Amino acid sequence: MNTAVEESVQDIGNDVALDALFHPSTIAVAGVSSKSVGQGNSFIRRLRRAGYKGNIYPIHPHETVLEGLPAYRGLADTPEPIDYAFIAIPAEGVPGLLAGANGRVKFAQVMSSGFGEGGRGQALQEALVDALRIGRMRLLGPNCLGVYSPSAGISFVEGQMTQAGSVGVFSQSGGLSVDIINHGAHRGLRFSGVVSLGNCLDIGPCELLEHYLSDTDTHVIGAYLETVEEGRRFFEALRAANARKPVVILKGGCTAQGQRAAASHTGSLAGNDRIWKALASQTGSLLVDSLEDFIDTLAAFQSWDPTQAPFSGRVVLFGNGGGASVLASDALGRLDIELPAITSETVQTLKELGVPPGASLDNPLDFPANILNRDGGRLPEQVLEAVVRAEAPDIVLLHLNLPVVLPYRDGGLMDELMSMVLRLDAAMQQGTRLFLVLRSTGQAAYEPKRQECAQMAMKAGIPTFLDLSAAARALGSLKKHGKFLRNRGFLGQEQAIGGTFSSRS
Amino acid sequence: METIKPARQLIEDAKRGRRRTLDEPTSKQILESYGIRTPRSMVIRFSSEIGNALRHLSGPVVLKLISPDVLHKSDFGAVVLGLSDEQAIKAAIEDISQRCADHDYQVEGFLLEETVGKGHEIVIGGYKDDAFGPVIMFGLGGIFVEVMRDVAFRICPITEVDAREMMEELRGAALLRGARGGISIPDRILIDTLLAVGGERGMLMDLTDLLKELDINPLRADEQGVTALDARIVLAED
């Protein structure tokens, strides 16, 4: 962004709370066609399908009715002021449209591109900034998909909306924000919002971060970032929040950054990846490397309860597959997560329960499928109840290998084990959480059952993973976050979600 | 010896002299003003001053060239260790001066410093990032920083907990705590040093408008404290 543009954007002021962006009571839509299905038409149809409750005002230079709704010529002509204006008309028309808003629009979301991306459209970009000042509004974009807000019924993806939830996401890539919603929905994430930021000509990552930190609906924050110009502000907002809401950061372009031209030794060792790693260490944020890791980590944190003591890394691993248990123990060990030995008293209890030879009586608890099948599947439940009661681990990581378990009683054992998982989770004592791993080979024969089981568990709020290494990585992030809190004396209890986060102080 | 001028004044003086990189004695004076010890030293311009300098310093001394044209003094053979008598120092000065003349390098003077005892060599640096502001770096010296790049970065200001975590982040951290029978440096000493450079009232925060880059390399550390053996400060452009 050039200096002139930057200065005029600052004139617009950025002290307006973003709540209306997520919960607008009125929406204007420009880019609705009477002859075809344009972006605006699709947007209105999605709003209706998702049950958006506010008023919708199509904007069009000469049509009077669009999508069955009365249309208006300009943003200043609607019967009531507009909270959210969705703009998907050709770039050349955007500045004029916004400049005519006469202060009656809070937020404009410009989907159109052609405002300086790839070095083209600089003049239009400047015209857009001028238009914001003249029309007096805040801007999301341009070149962005906008806001996904399940609780308000606003979406930029087709298909069923997910239930509203506590995960707030912002992304500097539109395509990736769609991936996050789709992938996340499939993995049980429930969003308080997902925002595609586009070119960040006005509203940028810092403001979204500050919004989610103070938003009482949001308990976990995810960010896909490429360029953060106000790095200092981003760092300070995170540091003031002290990781009481976990923040998961997927940073693109860490290695592509050229090395700084440096006159000192220190300068030559510095790099963009080093700064983000430093930021994560100092703020308790979690830096992840891939979209899969991002989703897995958010899934692990979604059920995190900030009033509980931070995760200390004590895990009981239970499941079928001896080698898989050993490899998972190694993966956890590398991430500084311990599998504490089961005490001799508990081992005695397990023996009395009748655990046969062939099952291990230590952590990891390896129970082959034929032993899981004893007593109609009652044995594993008794074992886990006894272990959780006596050992009080932070997390029980329960893994089931479907190709081995499914043949038992034609799927009957698997169903019983899933019922057990749900019962155990519901009865889990304070301080212990259940994480589930449903392993398989990816072969089509097992996938429908795996999906069914996964959906069942996720619906119950159980963080569910598709392989042990993904679960281990997510637990690694929990451990880092817990260590950050402990090192700084935050031990749970006193921190309530929401009100205590003052990001605008 | 000169009394210590405040850091800002030293930097203003250097700027008036159109300098972008502070010489070693000035860089060290700035470190001293933030409580980071440097070896006892004298700056001399002529061989006739050697005798007087030696009366103020004890033990064998280190001789170092002061020249804006020589950035890597050791590589140029412009650092001579273990000098005790006036004649040897004079000879070393003549040798270095001759080689500078051959390369048309300016000689501003020579630094005579007391020799510092054994200890671990560590590195502390800093720079100003365009987006994030001042950043501090910490690592073990020698091959650890040169080859293994075993360093930890933090955005300033750092807290005491940050400083402790920087130490723990280093793969070579155990060496600082006396592994393999080496010298054990109390954590407190390293934490205080890191805070003096990168803490809330540390040098990088205090001079954030003036500094571009900082190298304290090496910093000799033992059970008693740290001493900066070499330092370079690059100033921000106005």
Measure B52 CA to nearest chain A CA, in Å: 34
Q: What is the pLDDT of residues B175-210, one digit of tens each?
A: 898 888 889 999 999 999 999 999 999 999 999 999
pLDDT for A7: 45
Residue in chain A nearest B153 by alpha carbon: A278
Mutate to test the interface with B, among A235, A264, A272 (most CBs of B within 10 A): A264
Q: Which residue of B123, B127, B145 is in closest CB contact with A270?
A: B127
Residues of B in contact with A251 (CB under 8 A): none
Query: Strands, E, within A159-207: which ranges?
Result: 164-171, 191-196
Q: Is residue B1 included in any domain, yes or no?
A: no
User: Residue B137 and residue A266: Cβ atoms within 8 Å?
Assistant: yes
Residues of B with a Cβ under 8 Å from any A Cβ are 21, 123, 125-127, 129-133, 135, 137, 145, 149, 151-155, 158, 161-162, 164-165, 169, 212-215, 217, 232, 234
The per-residue pLDDT string of chain A (505 residues; one tens digit each, 9 = 90 and over) reads 444 444 444 444 444 589 999 999 999 999 999 999 999 999 999 999 999 999 999 999 999 999 999 999 999 999 999 999 999 999 999 999 999 999 999 999 999 999 988 788 999 999 999 999 999 999 999 999 999 999 999 999 998 888 999 999 999 999 999 999 999 999 999 999 999 999 999 999 999 999 999 999 999 999 999 989 999 999 999 999 999 899 999 998 766 444 444 566 666 777 778 899 999 999 999 999 999 999 999 999 998 877 888 898 899 999 999 999 999 999 999 999 989 999 999 999 999 999 988 898 899 999 999 999 987 778 999 999 999 999 999 999 999 999 999 999 999 999 999 999 999 999 988 889 999 999 999 999 999 999 999 999 999 999 999 999 999 999 999 999 999 999 998 876 544 443 333 333 3
Nearest to A228 among B131, B212, B214 (CB): B131
In this structure, are residues A353 and A379 in contact, taking their beta carbons and an 8 Å threshold? Answer: yes
Query: Rounded to whole angstroms, how far apart are CA atoms A157 and A42?
Result: 10
User: Please, are residues A187 and A241 in contact by the beta-carbon 8 Å criterion?
Assistant: no
Q: Which of A353-362, A472-481, B47-56, B152-161 has the lowest mean pLDDT?
A: A353-362
Within its chain, how far is the Cα of A157 from the centroid?
16
B86 lies in the same domain as B124: no
Fold match between A164-302 and A315-487? yes
> Which pLDDT does position A227 carry in this prediction?
87
**Final residue of a structural domain among B80, B114, B148:** B114
Q: How far apart are CA B207 and CA A296, in angstroms?
A: 42
Paired sense of beta strands A191-196 and A164-171, if any: parallel
For A3-143, which CATH superfamily applies? NAD(P)-binding Rossmann-like Domain (3.40.50.720)
- Interface size A-B, in CB pairs within 8 Å, comes to 80
Q: Do A282 and B162 touch (CB under 8 A)?
A: yes
- Contact check, Cβ <8 Å, B125/A487: no
The closest alpha carbon to A318, from A479, A471, A188, belongs to: A471
Token representation of residue A355: 């655990």
- Chain B nearest CA to A10, separation (Å): 17
Q: Which of B49, B83, B114 is the last residue of a domain?
A: B114
Q: For residue B154, what is the nearest residue in chain A, using CA coordinates?
A: A278
Which candidate from A232, A275, A487 shows the least CB-CB separation from B165? Answer: A487
CATH code (residue B90): 3.30.1490.20
In this prediction, residue A461 carries a pLDDT of 93
CATH of domain A164-302: 3.40.50.261
Tokens 């997520």 appear where? A22
| Residue in B closest to A260 by C-alpha | B129
> pLDDT category, B144, cuts 50, 70, 90?
confident
Nearest-Cα distance to chain B for A487, in Å, is 7
* Domain coverage including residue B94: 7-114
Return the higher-pLDDT residue of B119 and A5: B119
pLDDT class for B1, splitting at 50, 70, 90?
very low
Does one domain contain both B201 and B127?
yes
Residue B138 lies in a domain: yes
In a domain, B181, yes or no: yes
The model's pTM is 0.91
Q: Are residues B223 and B126 in the same domain?
A: yes
Q: DSSP string covering A452-485, please? A: HHHHHHHHTT--EESSHHHHHHHHHHHHHHHHHH
Q: How many Å lie between the alpha carbon of B101 and the closest alpha carbon of chain A?
A: 25
The span from the CA of A102 to the CA of A74, in Å, is 10
For A396-429, what is each residue's pLDDT tens digit?
999 999 999 999 999 999 999 999 999 999 998 8
Contact A285, A225 (CB under 8 A): no
The reply to whether B75 falls in a domain is: yes
Instruction: For residue A11, give the nearest of A133, A142, A140 by alpha carbon.
Output: A133
Residue with tokens 């789709």: A182
Per-residue tokens: A428: 């889990």
* Contact (CB<8Å) A266/B212: no
Tokens of A228: 């953060």
- A234 Cα to chain B: minimum distance (Å): 9
Contact B215 A229 (CB under 8 A): no
Shortest alpha-carbon distance between residue B38 and chain A (Å): 20
- Taking only the tens place, the pLDDT of each residue in A112-165 is 999 988 788 999 999 999 999 999 999 999 999 999 999 999 999 998 888 999
Eight-class DSSP state of A495 = P
pLDDT value of position A255: 60
Please give the tally of structural domains in chain B.
2
In the CATH hierarchy, which top-level class contains the domain A315-487? alpha beta
Map out the domains of chain A as residue ranges. 3-143, 164-302, 315-487
- Which residues from chain B sit within 8 angstroms of residue A275, using beta carbons? 129, 131-132, 135, 153, 155
CATH number of the domain where residue B152 is located: 3.30.470.20
